[in-house]
Structure 1
Amino acid sequence: MFDISFWQLQWLFPILTTLHNLEEAIWLPKWSQQAGKWHAKVGKQEFRFAVIVLTALAYLLTFLSWSYGPESIWVYLNCGYMLAMLINVFFPHLLATIVMRQYCPGIGTGIAFNLPINFLLLYLAFQDKWITHNKFMIISPITVLVLLLSLPILFFIGKKVFSQNAI
């Protein structure tokens, strides 16, 4: 049997985040126009700006986690981001899909990739002693909250940047 480690596999996180964000970038802005309370209406450009920034952040945190190794703040922030992506599968994607009885963009990649792989990565991070439960329980909720709060800010910045550049 082969031995897999968090150090080797953590690069799956930004790759899968890219796939998930690409699915959302293509279909979510149009879907949001009729999503009601499940998602604020968002334009293509500001949404795509936000997911580009968040995708770049996934690569940056993974690089820093990979470089600085176990117990670094970077590995905790990266694992917190993984937790955010796990939560994102359920809220809003799965819940909106069930309640609205229609496909919520992001649910496909969320269930197929984010759910199993991010769960595996977090499991390996604990198993390989890259993170401890106590620190993870403190840092990860803060990371999830900061990511959540960054969304309207990124949408605002994206809207401003693209409205000023519009002809």
Structure 2
Amino acid sequence: MVGWKRWSWALAGAFALHNAEEALTMRRFPVLAGRIDQAGRLDQGALNGLMAVISGLGAAAVAVGTTGRPSAWKPYLPAGVAGVMLLNVALPHVPAAVAARGYAPGLVTAVGLNLPIGVAVLRSAVREGAVSPRGLRRTMPVALGVLACAPLAVAAARAFSVGGSR
């Protein structure tokens, strides 16, 4: 049986792959790329940088949550990352694919990696007693809040984007 800590590290890797998929495919979708360009000229370099930073934050949350001296709150960091990833499947990716009647940037890794690995993190963390079901329910609104900050992250990337300074 794979423990919640190993699943958490697998999720950090899946999260990085997911962000890479989004960065590599976003520009191929004219509607999305046009909105990004018109709303502040987020160039490819800024998009790549944004995705790298977001991936690094996910990995940092997993690192803090799974290493060092044990603490009651630490397992909730990777659980929160898993919650963000699960919500990320349900909120933008699947509806975007339905609206596009096909592929949407990030869909393959969201459904193929983040969904099953995120579920495995949460199930194993609860099964092993690292997080309580009640604590997990309290973590999900925080995960939703983190996901809702995505537009702020894009705005910050635009501010540092070469094209956004024009």
Provide TM-score, normalisation by structure 1: 0.82
Q: List structure 1 runs of 4+ shifted beyond 3 angstroms.
A: 68-72, 164-167
Residue 122 of structure 1 and its aligned partner are, at CA, apart by 0.8
Could you say which residue in structure 2 is the equivalent of 1:13? Answer: 11
Residue 66 of structure 1 and its aligned partner are, at CA, apart by 0.8
Moved more, 64-73 or 13-22: 64-73
Residue 71 of structure 1 and its aligned partner are, at CA, apart by 5.5
Q: Which amino acid aligns with 1:20?
A: H
**Residue 133 and residue 152 in structure 1: after superposition, are their counterparts in 2 closer, same or farther (change >3 A)?**
same
**Residue 70 and residue 134 in structure 1: after superposition, are their counterparts in 2 closer, same or farther (change >3 A)?**
farther
Aligned equivalents of 1:86 and 1:161: distance in 2?
A: 29
Structure 2 unaligned regions, length at least 5: none
Q: Which amino acid aligns with 1:24?
A: E
Could you say which residue in structure 2 is the equivalent of 1:112? Answer: 112
Could you say which residue in structure 2 is the equivalent of 1:163? Answer: 162
Higher RCO, 1 vs 2 (CA within 8 Å, ≥6 residues apart): 2
Q: Which amino acid aligns with 2:31?
A: Q
**Residue 102 and residue 85 in structure 1: after superposition, are their counterparts in 2 closer, same or farther (change >3 A)?**
same
Moved more, 19-28 or 135-144: 135-144
Provide TM-score, normalisation by structure 2: 0.83
Q: Which amino acid aligns with 1:34?
A: V
Aligned equivalents of 1:100 and 1:165: distance in 2?
A: 27
* CA RMSD between the two structures: 2.7
Structure 1 unaligned regions, length at least 5: none
Moved more, 5-14 or 40-49: 40-49
Aligned residue runs from structure 1 range 1-167, under 5 A: 3-31=1-29, 33-35=30-32, 41=36, 43=42, 44-68=44-68, 72-149=72-149, 151-163=150-162
**Residue 99 and residue 155 in structure 1: after superposition, are their counterparts in 2 closer, same or farther (change >3 A)?**
closer
Conserved in 1, the CA contact under 8 Å of 2:23 and 2:47? yes
Conserved in 2, the CA contact under 8 Å of 1:126 and 1:132? yes
% identity of equivalent residues: 22
**Residue 134 and residue 25 in structure 1: after superposition, are their counterparts in 2 closer, same or farther (change >3 A)?**
same
Question: Could you list the per-position Cα deviations for residues 109-132 of structure 1 after superposition, in whole angstroms to 9, with x for gaps in the alignment?
Answer: 112111111111110010011101
**Could you say what secondary structure the match of 1:59 adopts?**
helix
- Corresponding pairs, count: 161
